[in-house]
């Protein structure tokens, strides 16, 4: 117990000494003459064995690893690694080692086997990585990809807007000069190519009323409209229910249970209708088969009489015999009706 009290007393003396020193430094840093006031309980005869202690809180920024193909993209990795190097205030050589330490796989091997003049230059390392893993597509191809991008089935408004932003960043990175109307192009592309026609009209009206609106403002308006006009319960049925049903019950703001029950009844009616149509098709198929059965069987060859030689078992087109005329009295009514005299 005595030992612990002694330790506490020594710690108090040490803290008071450090506090007094900090006060003196603060007073010395102020402009103009000032007199340091002695603090109560301060000991001027502090032990000379007390040493100063400095506590450093590192401002580390975690930097991701770059593997080349796969993982984080080159543009994002370069932004992160440059931010980390700015925080650490690294020299040029240390920056090159820092870049190399955060490479993995084939990207690390690529820099490893380069000449030492390139390995120790951070600018050359980043240029090599951009040449190998940068964007391969041309400026025209990137523009085409941006202007042909439309909202896909099942894609949310936020996902669609983020895809447009990513494509625009790629276009700006390959553009020969600065893009002056990038924000307006983003906004117009988003407005023109949303799937919902009613939402598209609302956004066009909003953009006409506020020509300086950005993509984020237009997207916020679209999300607000979607939440107010179409509840989440209706949006959940968007992939399975027709769009007409979704818009109808979204405007009426039906509860989720009513929408689900109505959707189930609609499916039941469609299923019954399909079953009835299938049964009707089966009946028609059977009727057609019964009608075609006699004609498919046809007459037996023994009942066939040749109109050329008047013999049974073959047709006149297959007969090579001598033509035998048939008297009118010997003709059956059916044969006489269908008989045509040969042309001379």
**pLDDT tens, per residue, the chain with 344 residues:** 677 778 888 888 888 888 888 888 877 776 554 444 444 444 444 445 556 666 555 556 678 888 887 778 888 888 888 888 888 888 888 999 999 998 988 889 888 898 989 888 999 998 888 888 876 677 788 888 888 989 988 889 989 999 898 888 888 877 777 777 888 889 999 999 999 889 999 999 999 999 899 999 999 999 999 888 765 544 444 444 444 333 333 334 444 444 455 567 778 888 888 888 888 888 888 888 888 765 545 555 567 888 888 888 888 888 888 888 776 545 554 444 444 555 44
The last residue of one of the domains, among 172, 195, 229, is 229
**Angle, nearest 10°, between helix axes 197-209 and 182-192?**
150
The answer to whether 98 touches 81, Cβ cutoff 8 Å, is yes
Q: Which pLDDT score, from 0 to 100, does residue 30 have?
A: 64
User: How many of the other CB atoms lie within 10 Å of CB of 331?
Assistant: 13
Q: Which residues of 246-285 are buried (b: 16+ CB within 10 A; e: fewer)?
A: bbebbeeebeeeebeeebeeeeeeeeeeeeeeeeeeeeee
What pLDDT is recorded for position 256? Answer: 44
Q: Residue 183's domain spans which residues?
A: 139-229
pLDDT given at position 70: 75
| The predicted structure's pLDDT at residue 241 | 40
3 backbone dihedrals φ, ψ, rounded to 5°: -65, -40
Give the per-residue pLDDT at 52: 65
Helix axes 122-133, 74-88, angle to 10 degrees: 170
Q: Under a CB-based contact definition with an 8 Å cutoff, are residues 266 and 245 in contact?
A: yes
**Per-residue pLDDT, 260:** 54
Count: domains in the chain: 4
Question: Are 13 and 20 contacting, i.e. CB atoms less than 8 angstroms apart?
Answer: no
Same domain, 121 and 144: no
Asked whether residue 216 falls in the same domain as residue 143, the answer is: yes
Query: Are residue 217 and residue 160 in the same domain, yes or no?
Result: yes
pLDDT at 88: 83
Predicted local distance difference test score (pLDDT) of residue 33: 47
* Domain co-membership, 156 together with 224: yes
Q: Are residues 179 and 127 in the same domain?
A: no
Confidence (pLDDT) at 188: 92
Same domain, 128 and 190: no
Q: How many CB atoms lie within 10 A of CB 187?
A: 24
């Amino acid at each position: 117990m005595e030992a612990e009290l002694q330790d506490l007393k020594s710690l108090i003396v040490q803290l008071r000494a450090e506090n007094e020193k900090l006060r003196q430094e603060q007073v010395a840093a102020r402009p103009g003459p000032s007199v340091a006031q002695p603090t109560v309980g301060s000991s001027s005869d502090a032990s000379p064995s007390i040493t100063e202690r400095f506590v450093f809180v590192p401002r580390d920024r975690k930097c991701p690893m770059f593997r080349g193909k796969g993982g984080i993209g080159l543009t994002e990795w370069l932004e992160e690694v440059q931010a980390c190097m700015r925080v650490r205030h690294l020299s040029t050589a240390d920056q090159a080692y820092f870049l190399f330490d955060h490479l993995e796989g084939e990207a690390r091997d690529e820099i490893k086997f380069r000449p030492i003049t390139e390995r120790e230059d951070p600018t050359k390392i980043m240029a090599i990585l951009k040449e190998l893993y940068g964007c391969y597509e041309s400026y025209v191809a990137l523009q085409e990809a941006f202007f042909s991008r439309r909202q896909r089935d099942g894609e949310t408004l936020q996902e669609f807007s983020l895809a447009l932003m990513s494509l625009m960043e790629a276009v700006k990175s390959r553009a020969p000069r600065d893009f002056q109307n990038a924000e307006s192009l983003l906004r117009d592309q988003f407005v023109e190519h949303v799937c919902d026609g009613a939402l598209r009209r609302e956004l066009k009206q909003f953009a006409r009323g506020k020509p300086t609106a950005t993509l984020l403002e237009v997207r916020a308006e679209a999300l607000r409209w979607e939440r107010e006009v179409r509840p989440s319960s209706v949006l959940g049925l968007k992939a399975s229910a027709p769009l007409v049903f979704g818009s109808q019950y979204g405007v009426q703001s039906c509860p989720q249970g009513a929408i689900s029950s109505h959707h189930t009844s609609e499916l039941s009616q469609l299923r019954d209708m399909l079953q009835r149509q299938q049964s009707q098709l089966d009946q028609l198929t059977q009727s057609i088969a019964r009608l075609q059965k006699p004609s498919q069987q046809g007459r037996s060859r023994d009942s066939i009489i040749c109109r050329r030689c008047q013999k049974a078992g073959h047709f006149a087109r297959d007969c090579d015999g001598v033509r035998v005329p048939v008297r009118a009295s010997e003709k059956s009514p059916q044969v006489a009706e269908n008989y045509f005299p040969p042309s001379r």
